[in-house]
Amino acid sequence: MEADLSGKVALVTGSSKGIGRAIAVRFAENGASVVINARTPGPALEVVEHVRALGREAHFEPADLYDYQDVKRMVDNAVQRFGHIDILVANGAAAGPPPQPFHEIDPKSYGDCVSSHLFTRLHVVRAALDHMMARQSGKIIMVTTDAGRTPTRGESLIGGAAAAVVLMTKVLAQELARWKIRINTICTTVTKDTPGYDMATSQQDTHLANLFKKAEERMPFGINKPDDIAQLALFLASEDSKQITGQIFSISGGLSFPG
């Protein structure tokens, strides 16, 4: 699809690679200026140059999504530079223990997993809210895993944290409607050309690699690609979705059908 994002400014966290990169580029292709985020420059600067080659404004803003004060600084810098943020995509930083039975997970890792899948989203959304509320407008899109919608063996912690993102989306949609702020979440499953996929499939004959392989084999419409998620993000960022808020969308290639 195509959309008119001319004059819009989008902040996409975790946008140096994979899904975040695809979303940032798709927004730029449709007229938006974009703020690219990662902890360090590296590939992020390549995305900035790619966007500028499209004739759009782009700026790299580093931040550690685990650190709220650092995230707030990033948002403030983006507002100061561009004057406003119209679209926020809370993506990236999702890590934690690989899929494994709950009884095998070291309790010391619980906090890190929850922080990775939940707090990184909370930090980004909260940091942008004051600005969006003052402007009485905004589109927020969170990206998480489909394990938060459908029981996935071995992903009790990851799924639990993602489920919190799902419920938070619905509650925030109710709370923020008075300020004309819309918030929706995209849930994904195995997606090719992402850091997680590359890491898993590079480890031949491991438990994780075999899990990814089995998931691919069960996807009747083929494995997801970052552009599949970017297309939906573009719709949710556009005026075409102005009547949609508090909704959860799954992109799974037919792997699962959460209610």
Residue type, 198: D
Tell me, what DSSP letter sits at residue 108? G
- HSE toward the beta carbon, residue 227, CA cutoff 13 A: 2
Query: 120-135 vs 68-82: helix axis angle to the nearest 10?
Result: 40
Q: By the 8 A CB rule, do 128 and 85 touch?
A: yes
d(CA 120, CA 259): 25
What is residue 16's three-state secondary structure?
Answer: coil
Stretch 148-153: mean pLDDT, rounded? 92
Q: What is the secondary structure of 47-100 as a DSSP string?
A: HHHHHHHTT--EEE----TT-HHHHHHHHHHHHHHHS---EEEE------SPS-
Q: Does residue 8 have a pLDDT over 90?
A: yes
Residue percentage of the chain with pLDDT more than 90: 82
The confidence score (pLDDT) of residue 205 equals 61
Question: What is the value of pTM for the model shown?
Answer: 0.94
Domain positions in the chain: 9-189+226-251, 195-223
Q: Determine how many CB atoms are found less than 10 A away from the CB of residue 195.
A: 15
Tens-place pLDDT, residues 76-119: 999 999 999 999 999 998 776 678 899 999 999 999 999 999 99
Locate all alpha helices (DSSP H) within 177-225, ordered by sequence. Answer: 195-201, 207-217
Stretch 7-19: mean pLDDT, rounded? 97
Of the candidates 147, 242, 218, 226, the one whose C-alpha atom is nearest the C-alpha of residue 193 is 226
d(CA 144, CA 90): 9
Stretch 9-38: mean pLDDT, rounded? 98
Which CATH entry fits the domain spanning 9-189+226-251: 3.30.160.250, 3.30.300.20, 3.40.50.720, 3.40.720.10? 3.40.50.720
Query: 156-176 vs 120-135: helix axis angle to the nearest 10?
Result: 10
